[in-house]
Amino acid sequence: MKKQIAASFVLIFLLSFLIGGATLAYFTSEDDVEGTSMDMGKVKINIKNMSGGKGTSHLRSGDSKEIEWKIENKSSMPVWIRATLLQETEHSSLHWEVISRGWAQGKNDDYYYYNKPVRPKDSVRIRVRIDYLDYENEMDAFGSEVDVLKGGPHCPWPPSDEKVSLKLQAEAIQEAHVDNEQWPEIPLDE
């Protein structure tokens, strides 16, 4: 009886060893399959307002202002970058346009996409021209963080205490092994 119990333990040990060895061999075998490699690291970007965040006093209808932001890649890997402008007040007569080279507007969204990956420690700039198109109001102060609009005497909006916030929001994904399906096809600078 003792021999049968000992033989059972030896058999269980050998089967466990064979199963463990086969599993280890399966997971450590080398096979080049496309799209399976991974790069470890964090994707991190930093946005800096290069216009100083200072306002422009007393803008009149038809006036323009340019604001520039610098987006730095603080990651350890190249990244694709996209950005969008967010305006909190819908009734404002502000119109903006990205005038920097290398950026293209997405077809089905409000994002602007940079046309090539940004290497680690490099940065890209995005310059925006903002036009004020309201002929009945004047803007007493305008900046890229918090802006103040003042209503004219015959216009019900904007009230004199209305504030407009125009901010840049940027996002990044790693460049390596990404098919870039999230980014639309954009023209490359030649």
- Whether the model clears a pTM of 0.95, i.e. scores above it, the answer is no
CATH assignment of the domain containing 57: 2.60.40
Q: Is 8 domain-assigned?
A: no
- Match 């490359």 to its residue by tokens: 188
- Match 């991974």 to its residue by tokens: 38
Q: Is 106 domain-assigned?
A: yes
CA–CA distance, 142 with 154 (Å, rounded to integer): 22
Q: How high does pLDDT run on average in the chain? A: 73
Do residues 111 and 105 make contact, with C-beta atoms less than 8 angstroms apart? Answer: yes
pLDDT at 125: 94
Query: What value does the mean pLDDT take over residues 101-113?
Result: 86
Name 62's Cβ contacts closer than 8 Å, sequence gap at least 6.
131, 132, 133, 135
Q: Is 56 domain-assigned?
A: yes
**Alpha helix ranges (H) inside the chain:** 2-28
Q: Is 126 domain-assigned?
A: yes
Domain that holds residue 59: 45-174
pLDDT at 5: 92
Q: Is 7 domain-assigned?
A: no
* Count of domains observed in the chain: 1
CB-count burial class (<10 Å; 0-12, 13-18, 19+) for 33: exposed
Judged by average pLDDT, the poorest of 9-18, 51-60, 105-114 is 51-60
Summarize pLDDT for 52-87 with one digit per residue, the tens: 555 555 556 677 788 888 999 998 889 889 888 887
Q: Is 71 domain-assigned?
A: yes
Strands 123-132 and 94-98: antiparallel
